[in-house]
DNA sequence: GTCTATAATGGGATAGAC
DNA sequence: GTCTATCCCATTATAGAC
């Protein structure tokens, strides 16, 4: 995480504290930045707003992040890092397809619940056609999605799940789970609450899991009815 | 469509042509505006860009739409008008649930295919928390969604479909169909094409329909296997 | 209705003192 | 590393001639 090129090992405590301070400031800035970018988009977000919320001056912020674009790309990098780390679940293609799918849906929904701003910033970029981040998506996200789709296809070839269009199955799982972050404002209006509750996510998880398992014809063992 | 308050009936052809001209200019502007707003968001879009693409000067555009906000709200109004007109399908709750669901999914996907910019502008607004358009969403969209959800619940109560969470069923249908407009850039990258093809939408429709019908336990009669 | 000119604002970025 | 001051540019919006 932190760069390892500290040139003054003799003052370890002081420089360490300084480094810690800098890291803390940077993460404060990034925490506010992801929210502001999610609320207003790249152009709509202003450095001044981010700085104000993080409790420092605009010019001081620009000491840590020399340009708005660099800050934005760093925000997206962190979003991807977090998401990719959580989504390494389909790396076990030999497990039960039902278990893997359940875990995948659960992890993706959890990301929507815990990091809604991250999800939204990424969505905004994709909707706009990924003008600033298309390269990273091509290099980091697309290969992962393709790998997951290949796993689905192996399962189909081995007769472990019913034949479906694996690519679109991935797209729909992505769409359903993602929307609980991106469209939560509209969902909250329909449900007549200020924001989505844990319960809503649990109910969503149950339904999405049932839909996916039903279409690939894997017995649904989640919940209510248990074998006697 | 055109306003009927023409004050000079004696010059019907001239004033009519003028009115026609104005309408044509307005619709040209709106056509470009929805694209630019979809590509860059509200703040990122500039009047100058819209005017340039529509083939007139920035100041001239502002003669027809006195402010950026008014233009934006008019764009969103038109998006909603189009969408609401197409989505009046669940108004026939006595038809076969399977037929209604098929038609609904098909119409929503068609909207994503034919009006991707409209879909994206709306999505951008919702993701940002609907700061400028929340009132209209509450007044026009939410009641419609609630009505559709109530239809699902009537079907469940009558035993015509399996018991599911009707609200989240609506959310997932919305999510899956919407994403074929909003996330088409990423989908195209995964599929290694410049843009989605008609075929992709057809395959999506098949899978989404199968998923929805499977989870509500309605026999799926779409396609491949027909009774002899 | 369309043009030129211009206000007025806001935001990103830089320079330099401390 | 943090602050003050400032530059520079893009953009919305208005005024007024034709």
b vs e for A209-218, b when ≥16 Cβ sit within 10 Å of the residue's Cβ? bbbbbbbbeb
pLDDT of A35-94, one tens digit each? 999 999 999 999 999 999 999 999 999 999 999 999 999 999 999 999 999 987 667 879
- How confident is residue B13, by pLDDT bands cut at 50, 70 and 90? low
Closest CA to A146 of B202, B189, B184: B189
pLDDT of B17-30, one tens digit each? 667 788 889 999 99
Q: If contacts are CB pairs under 8 Å, which of residues 58-117 in chain A contact chain B? A: none
For position A14, what pLDDT does the model report? Answer: 57
Residue B121 Ramachandran class (φ > 0 left, ψ -120 to 50 alpha, else beta): alpha
b vs e for A89-102, b when ≥16 Cβ sit within 10 Å of the residue's Cβ? bbeebeeebbebbb
Which H or E run contains A151?
A: helix A142-157
- How confident is residue B89, by pLDDT bands cut at 50, 70 and 90? low
Q: Is A8 exposed, middle or buried (0-12, 13-18, 19+ CB in 10 A)?
A: exposed
For position A221, what pLDDT does the model report? Answer: 80
For position A16, what pLDDT does the model report? Answer: 67
Query: In Å, what is the separation between the CA of A121 and the C1' of C10?
Result: 23
How high is the mean pLDDT of chain B?
Answer: 90
In residues, how long is chain A? 228
Within chain A, which residues score under 50 in pLDDT?
Answer: 1-12, 225-228
Determine, for residues A204 and B137 on separate chains, whether the beta-carbon distance falls below 8 Å. no
Is the pLDDT higher at B221 or at B94?
B94
Q: Is the pLDDT of residue B180 over 70?
A: yes
Q: Is the pLDDT of residue B12 over 80?
A: no
Q: Is the pLDDT of residue B85 over 70?
A: yes
For position B107, what pLDDT does the model report? Answer: 96
Q: Positive or negative, the Cα torsion across B211, B217, B221, B227?
A: positive
Contact call for residues B132 and A140 (beta carbons, < 8 A): no
Contact call for residues A180 and A109 (beta carbons, < 8 A): yes
Q: Min CA distance, B5 vs chain A (Å)?
A: 38
For position B46, what pLDDT does the model report? Answer: 98
Is the pLDDT higher at B227 or at B147?
B147
For position B90, what pLDDT does the model report? Answer: 64
pLDDT of B146-174, one tens digit each? 999 999 999 999 999 999 999 999 999 99
b vs e for B90-117, b when ≥16 Cβ sit within 10 Å of the residue's Cβ? beebeeebbebbbebbbbbbebbbebbb
Closest CA to B113 of B223, B208, B35, B199: B199
Q: Closest partner residue to B171 among A123, A179, A214, by Cβ?
A: A179
For position A228, what pLDDT does the model report? Answer: 42
Best mutation target, A108, A171, A197, to test chain B (most B CBs within 10 A): A171
């Amino acid at each position: 995480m932190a760069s390892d090129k500290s040139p003054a090992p003799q003052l370890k405590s002081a420089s360490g504290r300084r480094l810690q301070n800098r890291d803390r400031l940077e993460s404060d800035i990034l925490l506010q930045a992801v929210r502001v970018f999610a609320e207003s988009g790249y152009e709509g977000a202003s450095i001044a707003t981010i700085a104000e919320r993080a409790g420092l001056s605009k010019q001081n912020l620009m000491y840590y992040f020399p340009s708005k674009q660099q800050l934005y790309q760093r925000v997206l990098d962190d979003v991807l890092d977090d998401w990719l780390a959580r989504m390494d679940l389909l790396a076990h293609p030999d497990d039960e397809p039902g278990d893997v799918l359940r875990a995948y849906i659960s992890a993706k929904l959890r990301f929507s619940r815990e990091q809604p701003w991250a999800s939204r910033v990424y969505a905004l970029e994709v909707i706009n056609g990924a003008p600033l981040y298309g390269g990273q998506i091509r290099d980091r996200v697309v290969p992962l999605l393709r790998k997951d789709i290949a796993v689905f296809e192996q399962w189909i070839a081995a007769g472990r799940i019913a034949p479906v269009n694996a690519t679109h199955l991935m797209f729909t799982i992505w769409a359903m789970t993602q929307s609980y972050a991106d469209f939560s404002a509209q969902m909250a209006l329909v449900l007549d609450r200020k924001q989505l509750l844990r319960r809503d996510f649990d109910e969503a998880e149950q339904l999405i899991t049932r839909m996916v398992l039903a279409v690939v014809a894997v017995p649904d063992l989640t919940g209510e009815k248990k074998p006697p």
